Amino acid sequence: MNNIFYYETCIGKIGIEENGTAITNIYIANEISKDINLMETKLLKKANQQLQEYLKGERKIFDLPLEPNGTEFQQKVWNSLQKIPYGETNSYKDIAKSIGNIKACRAVGMANNKNPILIFIPCHRVIGSNGKLVGYAGGLNVKEKLLQIEKQNIYDN
């Protein structure tokens, strides 16, 4: 059975879920899955610590085991998202190119939207080809805040 614990952050209350070996989901506010324990574990504490460091601009790379549940295509997209450098953005077209299917922009958008591990898998770094912020499960204001944090701290150690 999975465990979840909620943490207060500068972007609101965040729930982090794990399956005993890896992070499986991030929830904004009080969303919760069925059949889940409300319990803080070592892994959840570590994930929260890294999240808080990231939000303070002190961490650029996460060092956590991640196990997002999704299709093979979604997994390809999510793996590609993890390669977008801190402080940079890509378009849906860039991601489609990176997975070898330039015509899959819309499908990439759908996979991006289904990313269960927000922030740790940085779907907030994907923007429209026109440079505009588009869709984010946590809300565009949260996406904008995450990108601002990265922009402000890109050159810090």
Catalytic residues: 123
- For 136, which DSSP code? -
Pairing of strands 90-91, 126-127: parallel
* Tally of residues, the chain: 157
Q: Residues 25, 156, 82, 48: what is their CA dihedral angle, to the nearest 10 degrees?
A: -10
Q: DSSP 3-state assignment of 156? A: coil
Token reading at 25: 């989901």
138 vs 117: CA distance, rounded Å: 11
Q: What does DSSP say about strands 90-91 and 2-9: parallel, antiparallel, or unpaired?
A: unpaired
Cβ neighbors of 155 (< 8 A, separation 6 or more) are none
Six token digits for residue 75: 């997994």
